[in-house]
Structure 1
Amino acid sequence: MAAVSPGAPPIVQQKQKIENLLDLPIADQLAYQFPYDVQTRFPAYIWQTWKYVPGSTNFEEKFRVPEASWTEKHPEFVHEVITDSVAVHLMRHLYSSVPSVLEAYESLPLPILKADFFRYLILLARGGIYADIDTQALQPATEWISSQFKPSSVGLVIGIEADPDRPDWAQWYSRRIQFCQWTIQSKPGHPVLREIVANITMETLERKRKGTLKKKLDKVVDWTGPAVWTDTIFEYFNNPKFFNIQSGSKIDYQNFTGMKEPKKVGDVVVLPITSFSPGVGQMGAGEVDDPMAFVKHDFEGSWKPESERHIGEEKKKENK
């Protein structure tokens, strides 16, 4: 991690009086509405989304154990499963002061796009943990950050989804190192979340202006999914506003491939593939009983079209 000066702190956003807030770029509007302070505690929230709440008879049995695991491992946390209809009202409440973001959210043409966008939006505004409904908590979040890192210096915790060290990796994944977004922990206002919300908003409104919202829907990963999430994280790592970047140096996939222990870049803790993807049987991931296994993902993806399901399913078929 030579590209980052040790201890280089991320910028803390300060609220200030702004006359014409809506005239500012979207990212600046978000920075004003949701200021970031790395020294605060991680909020004790767990956010999930699904078509039904657990109390509904329509809530699928296969999700009951995974969903309950989050409360079992975090008994003092506020744990909310947000339905699509509730999500709309929640977003209107949180983002009424940034109308372009709200317009983008309501304009997205597919449930998967809104589900992706929701996780960034809720974490930007409120912080805490977002977890897909088909994930199971194996260890409490208090164990996710190594004792070698001060929690007051960490604002975002992410895990590696894919590390495909093979020549044909591009046939299976969008990026050589891909960060997962089925589980994310963040403090509110984090710059990565601010930037991805701004980018998705601008992309969506541009598509709306051109009348192309329903075109190229096979590129969900690049619009709201793990590809754009990964790109935004790497852009943050190489942004001189937040880090002291040495001339000619760049943080890329090589800094994370094959890692077995967590790494800290500025205020971001990157967990190895075992932490959020244990038991996948590839790319060096350990099993669910590994000490570094924190969250198990069942890769249901049942709200997604077949073409967008996780590559793990294809790997299982390939290995048969």
Structure 2
Amino acid sequence: MSSRITLNRLMALMTLVFGLVLLWRQMLPTSPQLAVARPPLGVEGTTQTPKLGDLPTHPAIPRIIHQTWAEGTIPSQFTPWVRSWMAQNPSWEYWFWTDADIHCFMQHHFPAYLGLYDSYHHNINRADIMRYFVLYTHGGLYADLDMECVRPMDAVVLPHTCVLTEENHAHTYVVQHRASPANVINCLMGCRPGHPYFLDVIRELPVQKVKGNDGNVLDQTGPFLIDRVLRRYLNASSQRPSEDSVSVLPPVYFSMRFDPMQLPYLKKSCVNTTGLSTDAQHVCRHLVDSKFVNVLDPEAVADHHWQHTYWNMPGFMSRPQDSVTDIARLIARHFNTTPTHSTPPTHTCYTPKLKFGPFR
């Protein structure tokens, strides 16, 4: 009898928790009250086949590059990579978000999500989700600080309304043993403001938080999260208007080189490919034939340097962390410009304090 009562109580508790999750989702704003262009939700649609074409006269993705760090000084190893985004894209604006900028932005423009933002145990979770809220609100191109721009972004990014990139296939198929199609990665993403895909990502965040997984950043707020939402988004309808499409580019453009830390594992895995998937075997053949040479493709527009700063482990920062560069001074010195302060007083924290460009 007591075991039956315990089971009944457990089932009642699970039902209550599930009900609270549903209620929480309903209480969260379905379309945050922001002055951004936003299509109606639930529109049937299709996804575009990724292709590079002529630049649109009025691209949907605004020419804004977003990057973030805890404060306005960054580890000096990032300096040339940060500079590369402005040097290669002089017609774009550059917005640098600090933790204080983001917290104020969330507090004033997404107050229903501020508690969620503050509840994460790891800074990387907050760094993950800020890019989703910023891209949904402002649009533009987000890039991690360890991403280097090697060619202008216009021809690859601007033909699309929202563009993601697959992770390096050696990681996806050999290291992670994932099935095709390759998962997307969140180190570099571009989108128009108000795109429903990123609204779906935002709505998924509290669901994953309730599920737990606090120790699994990739699942809770990172690449695996946005990949799951993407598959659901693509499968939801085949009749979406073109402005709601999502293009997924192969890693050749944004993330061609594999993480050097994975080289020993890749070499070991590719010695005997028996038991590996067809995709993994194909990747291994390419790696072995190329003698595991890790070079960029001529078509690449960005290079991922795989710094892993979020791991908070020794050995990942190739230079002392107390060697820092001030972002404002860096840009003033190399581009002869100062931050623009154009945020309207009625839109507190709508944009970061450090805004620069265009640079021509």
What TM-score do you get using the length of structure 1 for normalisation? 0.66
Partner of 1:106: 118
- Local SS of the residue matching 1:28: coil
CA distance in 2, matches of 1:175, 1:30: 35
Deviation at 1:135, TM superposition (A): 0.6
Q: Would you say 1:192 and 2:197 are equivalent positions?
A: yes
CA distance in 2, matches of 1:158, 1:237: 13
Partner of 1:119: 131
CA distance in 2, matches of 1:288, 1:160: 17
Contact 2:185 2:223 in 1 (8 A): yes
Partner of 1:233: 230
Alignment of 1:288-299 (within 5 A): 289-299=296-306
Partner of 1:172: 176
Letter in 1 for 2:94: H
Deviation at 1:279, TM superposition (A): 2.7
Q: Would you say 1:80 and 2:82 are equivalent positions?
A: no
Q: Would you say 1:52 and 2:71 are equivalent positions?
A: yes
**Which of 158, 167, 190 in structure 2 is aligned with 1:161?**
167
CA distance in 1, matches of 2:255, 2:163: 14
Contact 2:149 2:301 in 1 (8 A): yes
Contact 2:63 2:140 in 1 (8 A): yes
Letter in 2 for 1:127: G
Contact 2:184 2:223 in 1 (8 A): yes
Cα distance change, pair 47–174 in 1 and its aligned pair in 2 (3 A): farther
Partner of 1:279: 257
Partner of 1:304: 311
Deviation at 1:191, TM superposition (A): 1.4
CA distance in 1, matches of 2:198, 2:61: 15
CA distance in 1, matches of 2:179, 2:77: 30
- Local SS of the residue matching 2:310: coil
Contact 2:257 2:304 in 1 (8 A): no
- Local SS of the residue matching 1:182: strand
Structure 1: gaps spanning 5 or more residues? 1-21, 245-263, 310-320
CA distance in 2, matches of 1:173, 1:26: 36
Q: Would you say 1:130 and 2:142 are equivalent positions?
A: yes
Cα distance change, pair 108–289 in 1 and its aligned pair in 2 (3 A): closer
Cα distance change, pair 25–139 in 1 and its aligned pair in 2 (3 A): farther
CA distance in 1, matches of 2:214, 2:92: 36
Partner of 2:208: 203
**Which of 29, 32, 36 in structure 1 is aligned with 2:31?**
29
CA distance in 1, matches of 2:179, 2:223: 9
CA distance in 2, matches of 1:268, 1:90: 26
Query: RCO higher in 1 or 2 (8 Å CA, sep ≥ 6)?
Result: 2
Deviation at 1:29, TM superposition (A): 2.6
Over the aligned positions, Cα root-mean-square deviation in angstroms equals: 3.5
Deviation at 1:103, TM superposition (A): 2.1
Deviation at 1:90, TM superposition (A): 2.1
CA distance in 2, matches of 1:91, 1:294: 31
Partner of 1:316: none
* Greater helix fraction, Structure 1 or Structure 2: 2
- Local SS of the residue matching 1:238: helix
- Local SS of the residue matching 2:61: coil
Q: Would you say 1:218 and 2:211 are equivalent positions?
A: no
Q: Would you say 1:270 and 2:248 are equivalent positions?
A: yes
CA distance in 2, matches of 1:104, 1:116: 13
Partner of 1:259: none
Aligned pair count?
245
